[in-house]
A and B are shown apart, each in its own frame.
Chain A
Amino acid sequence: MHRNRWLLLVVALTVLSLAAVGCGGDDDDDGAAADETGATDTGATEPAAEQVLRIAWGAEPPSLDPGKATDTTSSNVILALMDPLVKLDPDTLEPEPSAADSWEVDENVVTFHLNQDATWTNGDPVTAQDYVYSWKRTLSPELAADYAYQLYGVKGAAEYNGCEKDCEALADEVAVTAVDDYTLQVELTSEQPWFLGQVSHHSFLPVHQATVEEFGDNWTDPENIVTNGPFMLESWDHEASINMVKNPDYRDAANVSLERIDGPIIVDGITRVQAFEAGEVDALDGAGLPPEEIERLKTEPYYDQYPSLGTYYYGFNIENIGLEQRKAMSLAINRKIITDQIDRTGRAQATGMTPPGVKGFDVINPNSPWLPAEGDMTQAQELMGQAQDAKTKINLFHNDAPGHKEIAVAVQSMWQELGIETTIKAQEWAQYLEFLGPPPNKAVDAYRLGWIYDFPDAINGLELFTCDSGNNNTNWCNEEYDALVEEAKQTVDDDARYEIYRQLEGIMFDEDGDVPLTPIMWYTFPNLEQDSVRDTFYINPLDQIDFTKVVVAGG
Chain B
Amino acid sequence: MAAFIIRRVVWTIPVILLVIFMIFMMMRQIEGNPFRRTERAVPPQVEANLERKFNLDEPVYMQYLLYVKGVFTFDLGPSLTQTDRSVTDIVKEHFPRSLKLGLLAFMWAILFGIPAGVIAALRPNTLYDYILMLFSNIGFALPAFFVATLFIYYFAVKASLVPTNGWPLGFWEVDSRVLLPSLALALYPMAYFARLVRGTMLETMQQDYVRTARAKGLRWKSIVTRHVFRNSLIPVVTATAPLFGLVITGTFVIEVIFSIPGIGRYFINSVSARDYSVVMGITVLTSLVVIFLNLVVDIAYGFLDPRTRTSR
Task: Please report A residues at the B interface, Cβ cutoff 8 Å.
Answer: 5, 9, 12-13, 15-17, 19-21, 23-25, 27-31, 34, 60, 62-65, 68, 70-71, 141-146, 148-149, 152, 158, 161-162, 164, 217-218, 220-221, 237-240, 264-268, 270-271, 274-275, 277-278, 280, 428-431, 433-435, 449-451, 469-471
Residues of A within 8 A of B50 (CB): 144, 146
Further 10 A-B residue pairs, CB within 8 A, beyond A30-B176, A237-B169, A267-B265? A12-B119, A21-B159, A27-B176, A34-B163, A63-B83, A142-B49, A144-B50, A146-B35, A148-B46, A240-B259
Considering the chains assembled together, what is the distance between the CA atoms of A268 and B148 in angstroms? 12
Sample (19) of A-B pairs whose CB atoms are under 8 Å apart: A16-B135, A20-B155, A21-B159, A24-B176, A27-B175, A31-B163, A60-B82, A63-B84, A141-B45, A144-B46, A218-B84, A218-B85, A238-B94, A274-B153, A274-B164, A275-B164, A278-B163, A428-B32, A450-B39
- Checking B84, B108, B132 against A217 with a beta-carbon cut-off of 8 angstroms, the contacting residue is B84
Q: Are B259 and A265 in contact (CB under 8 A)?
A: yes
B163 adjacent to A9 (CB under 8 Å)? no
Q: A268, B256: Cβ atoms under 8 Å? A: yes
Q: Binary interface profile of B, 81-121, with partner A (CB < 8 Å = 1, else 0)?
A: 11111100010011000000000000010001000100100
In Å, the complex CA distance between A17 and B139 comes to 10
Contact A271 B165 (CB under 8 A): yes
Q: Is the CB of A429 within 8 A of B259?
A: no
**A217 touching B46, Cβ below 8 Å:** no
Interface centre among A9, A25, A144, A220 (most CB of B within 10 A): A144
* Inter-subunit contact B43/A62 (CB<8 Å): no
B176 & A433 in contact (Cβ 8 Å cutoff) = no
> Nearest chain-A residue to B123 (Cβ)?
A5
Q: Is the CB of B39 within 8 A of A433?
A: yes
Q: Looking at the complex, which one of B42, B259, B273 makes contact with A430 (CB distance below 8 Å)?
A: B273
- Determine if A70 and B39 form an interchain contact, defined as CB atoms under 8 angstroms apart: no
Contact assessment for A471 and B161 in the assembled complex, using a CB-CB cutoff below 8 Å: no
A271 and B177 CA atoms in complex are apart in Å by: 14
Q: Is the CB of A430 within 8 A of B36?
A: yes
User: With A30-B176, A238-B93, A267-B265 in contact, is A19–B163 under 8 Å at CB?
Assistant: no
Please tell me if the beta carbons of A274 and B152 are within 8 angstroms of each other in the complex: yes
Q: Which of B33, B131, B266, B272 contacts A13 (CB 8 A)?
A: B131
Check B161–A28 contact: CB distance below 8 A.
Answer: yes
A31 to chain B, nearest CB (A): 5
Once bound together, how far apart are the Cα atoms of A19 and B113, in whole Å? 13
How near does chain B come to A239, taking the closest CB pair, in angstroms? 3
- Assess the B163–A280 pair: CB atoms within 8 A: yes
The reply to whether B32 and A24 form a contact with Cβ atoms under 8 Å apart is no
Residue contact A274 to B156, C-beta cutoff 8 Å: yes
Q: Using Cβ atoms and an 8 Å threshold, which residues of chain A touch B42?
A: 146, 470
Roughly how many angstroms separate A165 CA and B155 CA in the complex, as a whole number? 60
Q: Known: A28-B160, A430-B31. Contact between A20 and B180, CB under 8 A?
A: yes
Interface check B301, CB cutoff 8 A: no
Contact A471-B162, Cβ < 8 Å, known A63-B84, A267-B259, A431-B31: no
| A274 lies within 8 A of B175 (CB) | no
- Give the nearest-CB partner of A162 in chain B: B45
**CA A271 – CA B33 in complex, angstroms?**
30
Q: CB-CB < 8 A to B52: which residues of A?
A: 141, 144
* Interchain CA distance A436-B46 in the complex, whole Å: 20
The 6 closest A-B pairs by CB, nearest first: A470-B41, A430-B32, A239-B261, A162-B45, A144-B49, A24-B161
- CB <8 Å contact, B128 and A12: yes
**Smallest CB separation, B162 vs chain A (Å):** 5
Q: B257, A277: Cβ atoms under 8 Å?
A: no
Also in contact, A158 and B83, with CB within 8 A (given A240-B169, A471-B40): no
Looking at the assembled complex, report how far the CB atom of A517 sits from the nearest CB atom of chain B, in whole angstroms.
13
Interface size on B, as a range, is: 35 or more
Question: Which B residues are in CB contact (< 8 Å) with A434?
Answer: 31-33
Q: Determine if B309 is an interface residue (Cβ-Cβ < 8 Å).
A: no
Residue of B nearest to A464 (CB): B41
Residues of the B chain whose Cβ atoms lie less than 8 Å from the Cβ of A13: 131, 135
B267 on interface, CB distance cutoff 8 Å = no
Highest count of chain A CB atoms <10 Å: which of B35, B36, B84, B93: B84
| In-complex Cβ contact of B175 among A17, A30, A264 (8 A) | A30
- Please indicate the chain A residues that have their CB under 8 angstroms from the CB of B257 in the complex: 268, 270-271
Known contacts A31-B176, A266-B165; decide if A70 and B37 are in contact (CB<8 Å). Answer: yes
Complex contact B162–A217 (CB within 8 A) = no
Query: Once the chains bind, are A30 and B166 in contact (CB under 8 Å)?
Result: yes
Q: Which residue of A lies closest to B256 (CB)?
A: A268
Contact A429 B169 (CB under 8 A): no
B310 within 8 A of partner (CB): no
Q: Output the residue of B30, B128, B165 with the most chain A CB within 10 A.
A: B165
Given A146-B46, A431-B32, do A20 and B39 touch, yes or no (CB 8 Å)? no
Least CB separation from B93: chain A residue? A238
A31–B161 CB distance below 8 A: yes
Return B260 CB to nearest CB of chain A, in Å.
Answer: 8
With A217-B83, A267-B256 as contacts: A20 and B164 at CB distance below 8 Å? no
Query: Which one of A62, A240, A275, A435 contacts B82 once the chains associate, using CB atoms below 8 Å?
Result: A62
Q: How far is the CA of A17 from the CA of B116 in the complex (A)?
A: 12
Which of B33, B53, B152, B175 touches A144 (beta carbons < 8 Å)?
A: B53
Chain A residues, CB < 8 A from B86: 217
Closest to B265 in A: A239
Contacts of A16 in B (CB 8 A): 112, 116, 132, 135
- How close is B37's CB to chain A, nearest CB, in angstroms? 6
User: Which residue in chain B gives the minimum CB-CB distance to A59?
Assistant: B269
Is residue B274 contacting chain A, with contact meaning CB distance below 8 A?
A: yes
A280 touches B38 (CB 8 A): no
Q: Assuming the A-B contacts A144-B53, A238-B94, are A275 and B78 also in contact, with contact meaning beta carbons closer than 8 angstroms in the complex?
A: no
Residue of A20, A27, A70, A470 near B43 (CB, 8 A) is A470
- Give the residues in chain A near B259, CB-CB below 8 Å: 239-240, 264-268, 271, 275
Taking CB atoms and an 8 Å cut-off, the chain B residues in 174-203 that contact chain A are 175-177, 179-180, 183
Residues of B with C-beta under 8 A to A430: 31-34, 36, 272-274
* A-chain residues with CB within 8 Å of residue B35 when the two chains form the complex: 146
Provide the bound-state CA to CA distance between A315 and B171, in Å. 50
Tell whether, in the assembled complex, residue A70 and residue B38 are in contact, meaning their CB atoms are under 8 Å apart. Answer: yes
Q: Which residues of A contact B60 (CB under 8 A)?
A: none
Which of chain B's residues has its CB closest to A428's CB? B272
A237 to B78 alpha-carbon distance, docked (Å): 19
Q: How distant is B273 from chain A, measured CB to nearest CB, in Å? A: 7
Minimal Cβ-Cβ distance residue in A for B37: A70
- For B112, give its contact among A19, A217, A221 (CB under 8 Å): A19
Q: B25 in the interface, Cβ–Cβ < 8 Å?
A: no
Contacts of B13-36 to chain A: CB distance below 8 A: 30-36
* Nearest A residue to B167, CB-CB: A240
Q: Which A residues touch B155, using CB under 8 A?
A: 20-21, 24
A30 to B162, Cβ gap below 8 A?
yes
Contact B83 A24 (CB under 8 A): no
User: Hey, which chain B residues are within 8 Å of A28, CB to CB?
Assistant: 160-162, 176
Q: How far is the CA of A237 from the CA of B297 in the complex (A)?
A: 35
Cβ-closest chain A residue relative to B184: A20
Report whether A238 and B85 are in contact in the complex, using a CB–CB cutoff of 8 Å.
Answer: yes
Q: Does B64 contact A (CB under 8 A)?
A: no
Answer yes or no: B218 CB below 8 A from chain A CBs: no
Smallest beta-carbon distance A434→chain B, Å: 4
For the complex, what is the distance from the CA of A309 to the CA of B296, rounded to whole Å? 57
Are the C-beta atoms of B162 and A145 separated by less than 8 Å?
Answer: no
Q: Which of B45-85 contact A (CB under 8 A)?
A: 45-46, 48-50, 52-53, 78, 81-85
B261: chain A residues at CB < 8 Å are 60, 237-240, 265
